[in-house]
Structures are given as structure tokens and as C-alpha cells.
């Protein structure tokens, strides 16, 4: 079963006037990881799609949705997958790729058949999905967590000691515009992406995981001089427009998956905001 929804772009001037509920309705994705369903959110920011697939009683096929106006999902799109559950596999045009916890898979455009499977239904795979439009086809590539390009950033003194795992990114996998990776905060650290930044040439989606029970993450967004916040729970995602910061602080350490798309593949191209200039 596949269900989808669409989110339209909002201007920064409009977002200044949003109350808490409207802010959450526009940017928070809180219905992911539904058993035996493919859940997709189609954003009009760079035509990005974020979603999930959790096969339990049956295998799940990646089906096209009406906004794509395409005979199959990947006709003009590429797909990134990171498994945040038990062991599973993804079958792409008859080839099976086994994905353990926190392993990633890139699938290029033109692949008609994509099927999600769990190894153990009592501990199902939980596939987090990101997709962006693609102008050409690149090979399907699996990237395990161990194969990721790792950056150790931050410090305990500033509560942001973390490991950035670059997985679906130019130095590891060739893509059209999609980039994905996973940042793991060390125990005692709670801040991500601080100092904050914006990048006007691409949008981003954050997906939070490894949040302990009864804990939460406060995600910050908005223009640097007009910030807003959204409280988030485990396995929820949030859409970040190009004009918005995307930062967060948790009541415990946690992990988040970042995915982005736009006209720029330069990971370091960002406008950093001084902490003391945030409002």
C-alpha cells in the first residue's frame, strides 16, 4: 500500500506569521515508518520526496504517485535509501542489495522495479527514502556505514561532538543532485549544525532517529533573524527550505539523517550564521 501527500512552498514572510500548528503542518513529517505501507511526502521545494517503507507481512513495491505523472517512480528521478531498522533487502530490477542497520543504497533513474523486503518480520527493516529529479542515469551503489566518508566535528565543550557520515555524496557515489548522510552525536552532546547555516542553492530534509524513549529534539528553522522551533520525536522528519537554518538540540544525544537537493553539489557551499547573530 502506498499513500502520499504534497507540501507546497512557503515564503519566509508567510512563515513569520505561522503559529505552532501551522508550522508543524507545513514542515513536519510525523507519519513515517508505518507497517506494510510506503509513505511519501512530495515537497515543492526542489520537487524533493521524503518517505519510508516498512515491509512486515508482505514485500512492498515502490509505486508511482500522481504528482509524478510518470509510468513508474524512477522514470525521471533518483532514490536514496538508509535502513534504520532490522536487516532487510532492496530488489532493483532483479538484483538484491542487502542492507543492515544504517546501511545506504543509491538507485539511479530508469529502474522500473524496486521492492523492499525484511529479513525478520519480528524485527522489520525500516527504510527511510529520499528522492529528487534526475537528468541522467547513474549506477545503483550500496554504501555501508563502514564505507562512509567520516568527518569528526565539534567538541564536548560546546556540546556538539559528532561524526558526520557522508554516504550518498560526490566523494563516495555519483548522483545527479541527491545527497544523503548521517550525523551521530556522541553521548553528552546535543547540538547539531551549530553554528547554523543556510544554502540558497539547495533545500534539505532532516530525519531524526536514535532518540531515547521519553526524550525529544527541538529543531530550529527560519531565517537567521526570524527563527522558529519544532519539537520532534523519534523517526520524524522536517523539511528545510533554502532560506532557512536547520539546526537542533536534544534532551539527549541522537542521530539524524540529512538529505538535500538543488543546483549545487558542493557540500561546503553554505552561508554560516554567527551564533550571536541568531534571533
- Classify domain 2-277 by CATH number: 2.60.120.10
Question: Whole-angstrom Cα distance, residue 191 to residue 253?
Answer: 8
**266 pLDDT exceeds 80?**
no
pTM: 0.96
Distant-in-sequence, close-in-space partners of 107: CB < 8 Å, separation ≥ 6: 74, 78, 79, 80, 81, 90, 92, 114, 140
Domain boundaries, the chain: 2-277
Chain segment 135-179, per-residue pLDDT in tens: 999 999 999 999 999 999 999 999 999 999 999 999 899 999 999
122-147 pLDDT, tens digit each: 999 999 999 999 999 999 999 999 99
Q: Are 184 and 165 in contact (CB under 8 A)?
A: yes
Q: Which residues contact 109 (CB under 8 A, 6 or more apart)?
A: 74, 75, 76, 77, 78, 134, 136, 137, 138, 176
pLDDT in tens, 201-240: 889 999 999 999 999 999 999 999 999 999 999 999 999 9
Nearest to 220 by CA among 253, 188, 198, 187: 198
Distance CA 118, CA 124 (A): 5
What mean pLDDT is reported for the chain?
96
Taking a C-beta distance cutoff of 8 angstroms, is the pair 279, 227 a contact?
A: yes
Residue 163 neighbours by CB under 8 Å, 6+ apart: 150, 151, 152, 153, 183, 184, 186
pLDDT of amino acid 264 = 76
Amino acid at each position: 500500500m502506498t499513500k502520499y501527500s504534497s507540501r507546497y512552498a512557503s515564503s519566509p514572510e508567510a512563515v513569520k506569521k505561522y503559529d505552532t500548528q501551522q508550522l508543524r503542518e507545513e514542515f513536519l513529517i510525523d507519519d513515517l515508518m508505518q507497517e506494510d505501507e510506503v509513505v511519501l511526502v512530495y515537497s515543492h521545494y526542489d520537487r524533493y520526496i521524503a518517505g519510508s517503507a516498512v515491509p512486515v507481512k508482505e514485500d512492498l513495491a515502490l509505486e508511482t504517485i500522481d504528482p509524478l505523472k510518470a509510468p513508474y517512480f524512477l522514470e525521471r528521478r533518483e532514490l536514496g535509501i538508509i535502513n534504520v531498522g532490522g536487516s532487510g533487502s532492496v530488489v532493483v530490477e532483479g538484483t538484491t542489495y542487502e542492507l543492515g542497520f544504517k546501511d545506504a543504497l543509491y538507485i539511479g533513474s530508469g529502474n522500473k522495479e524496486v521492492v523492499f523486503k525484511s529479513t525478520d518480520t519480528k524485527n522489520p527493516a525500516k527504510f527511510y527514502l529520499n528522492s529528487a529529479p534526475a537528468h541522467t542515469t547513474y549506477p545503483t551503489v550500496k554504501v555501508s556505514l563502514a564505507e562512509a566518508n567520516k568527518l569528526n566535528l565539534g567538541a564536548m565543550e560546546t556540546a556538539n561532538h559528532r561524526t558526520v557520515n557522508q554516504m550518498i555524496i560526490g566523494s563516495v557515489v555519483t548522483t545527479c543532485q541527491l545527497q544523503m548522510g548521517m550525523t551521530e552525536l556522541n553521548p553528552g552532546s546535543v547540538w547539531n549544525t551549530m553554528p547554523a547555516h543556510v544554502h540558497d542553492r539547495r533545500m534539505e530534509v532532516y530525519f531524526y532517529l536514535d532518540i531515547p524513549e521519553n526524550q525529544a529534539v527541538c529543531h530550529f528553522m527560519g531565517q537567521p533573524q526570524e527563527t522558529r522551533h519544532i519539537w520532534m520525536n523519534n523517526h520524524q522528519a522536517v523539511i528545510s527550505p533554502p532560506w532557512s537554518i536547520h539546526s537542533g538540540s536534544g534532551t539527549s544525544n541522537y542521530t539524524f539523517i540529512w538529505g538535500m537537493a538543488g543546483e549545487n553539489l558542493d557540500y561546503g557551499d553554505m552561508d554560516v550564521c554567527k551564533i550571536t547573530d541568531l534571533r
